[in-house]
Amino acid sequence: MSSINPSTDPKKSRLGRGLGSLLGENIAPTTSPIATTLTNPAPHQKIEVAVLPKSPEAPAQVHIDLLYANPNQPRREFNTEKLSELSASIKVHGIIQPILVMPDRMGKYQIVAGERRWRAARMAGLNQVPVVAKEQDEQKSLELAIIENIQRHDLNPLEEAKAYQQLIKKFNFTQNDVADRVGKERATVANILRVLTLELEIQELLSAGKITLGHAKVLLGVENKIIQRKLARKIINDNLSVRALEKLVAKGADLENEANEAPKKEDIHTKAICENLQKSLGTKVDIDYNSGKGQINISFYTDEQLSEIVRKISRL
């Protein structure tokens, strides 16, 4: 397989200007490269593998099994319904924008940008996908993955905050550095990062889309963690808007008194059961108990996690 020339452009680009400016080139329409055949580790299975063109920006058709997800991918949740819609579109029109990949030493390709297209292509039954391969270091790979998702509005606020935190912790970035890379104001980056200080229960609600970033910002202004959690549940139960939540928080004293009330014995017992279930199942569990009746809500965030929960419940 031919080698890929690393990018020689020493200039730091503002990622907010688009992937094209990041790569320092225009992505050409997909073309059919010369192909060779490699033997797959699976018995008797052969895979057509593209020999990448000499021009580094020209897309190549590569067998889909040679691509794998970026472990630093900031996006953790993929909406199944939207993925199915994209898969249906790909069946008809193919993949219009090539997947950006980084070749590894084993002859495979780590996805830098385009994991959703890759997943949808697998669902559609494609054997080959168009890719543009570029040598990238870990920092640039993470930056590109973040900015692609941000530009497509694919990250939920919690994923975006964790992605910024990755840049800060792994590469010693300041908030200004992050803001410069993603093309946002420093204050915006700082506000997104603040959601990581919320209670874990509230973070999960934000990640699942049950509360909005606007709700989260209001809750961040509430110092009492008990009140924070009560308000988060009230947002869902009463379908509160951000404005309604702000009015509720403005009451202040009433909420403080409510939070300081001694818990009932049944609440203590229910909480203990809830905590045991969460430890056993490895996910968030809510118990809505009222005089001997109620319901148990078990949260899951991927199909794999759902299967694991079902397996664990069957063993209880």
Q: Which residues contact 269 (CB under 8 A, 6 or more apart)?
A: none
3-state secondary structure 117-158: HHHHHHHHCCCEEEEEECCCCHHHHHHHHHHHHHHCCCCCHH
Q: Residue 115 catalytic?
A: yes
**Residue 300: alpha-carbon gap to chain centroid:** 15
Cβ-contact 64, 129 below 8 angstroms? yes
| Angle between helix 303-315 and helix 265-281 axes, rounded to 10 deg | 110
Instruction: For residues 228 and 64, give the distance between their C-alpha atoms in angstroms, rounded to a whole number.
Output: 46
Strands 60-63 and 109-113: unpaired
Candidates 164, 170, 209; CA nearest to 190 is 164
Instruction: For residues 217 and 198, give the distance between their C-alpha atoms in angstroms, rounded to a whole number.
Output: 10
Candidates 36, 63, 49, 61; CA nearest to 132 is 61
Instruction: For residues 146 and 109, give the distance between their C-alpha atoms in angstroms, rounded to a whole number.
Output: 18
**Residue 285: alpha-carbon gap to chain centroid:** 22
From the list 48, 77, 115, 246, the catalytic residue is: 115
**Residue 152: alpha-carbon gap to chain centroid:** 12
Per DSSP, the three-state class of 208 is coil
Report the catalytic residues: 115
